[in-house]
A and B are shown apart, each in its own frame.
Chain A
């Protein structure tokens, strides 16, 4: 049973607009959440994270929002740039070591 779900396999956004990537989780033990970006034939690169004691964390163009009651988090990228085209993975941690990943969302930024 998938504990971290990214229900949109792909998302297409126009350059300069806001990209919103969503992630849902089911395990109440998760207390830390991360977003990774992955290009083909490369390993994931850490983007931004958020602790369960916060509801928002911002780093430049990237903002992550956490709604604990809904077990939902989202990554906002604004403005979207062509270099943002990649697969974005939501990951969660709580208790055991290792991260639990979603299946990823392929973000395509259209010029």
Chain B
């Protein structure tokens, strides 16, 4: 059973607000990821991290930023939310050097910016 948590599950917020989406995992995984998914579309990688103090941008350009101060925690921040940021955000983690590339996903945060 994967132990990866995201809060909030749903968020409706006005344009211009600063928001932070939380993601935590209790599996001790070094690698963590953020994906963005619009309805009916593929998941796009927007950020990833190899470990503490490591952050990288993914394939899809995003105005969000991430931090990795603790192994278990990988929050995503939008400084000024816009309607174009409306989407589902999924956090995932995986082992380093394991036999598979399996990533464990959290339940996601559905963000609506009005």
Contact = CB atoms under 8 A, between A and B. Distances in A.
Interface of A: 2, 4, 9, 32, 34, 36, 41-46, 49, 89, 91, 93, 97-104
A89 B44 CA distance: 12
Contacts of B104: 46
Contacts of A99: 43, 45, 101, 103
Contacts of A43: 4, 6, 90, 92, 105-108
17 contacts: A2-B42, A4-B42, A9-B40, A32-B101, A41-B108, A42-B108, A43-B6, A43-B90, A43-B105, A43-B107, A46-B104, A49-B102, A97-B31, A99-B43, A99-B101, A99-B103, A100-B59
Nearest to A97: B48
Given A43-B6, A98-B35, A103-B42, 5 more contacts: A4-B42, A36-B105, A43-B107, A49-B101, A102-B42
Chain A contact residues: helix, strand, loop or mixed: strand
Contact of B105 (A44, A97, A102): A44
A45 B105 contact: yes
A101 B42 contact: yes
Contacts of A34: 101-102
B58 interface: yes
A101 B107 contact: no
A89 B31 contact: no
B78 to A, nearest CB: 20
Interface in B43-62: 43-45, 48, 50, 56, 58-59
Given A42-B107, A46-B103, A49-B100, A98 B59 contact: yes
Interface string B88-112: 0010100000001111111110100
B12 interface: no
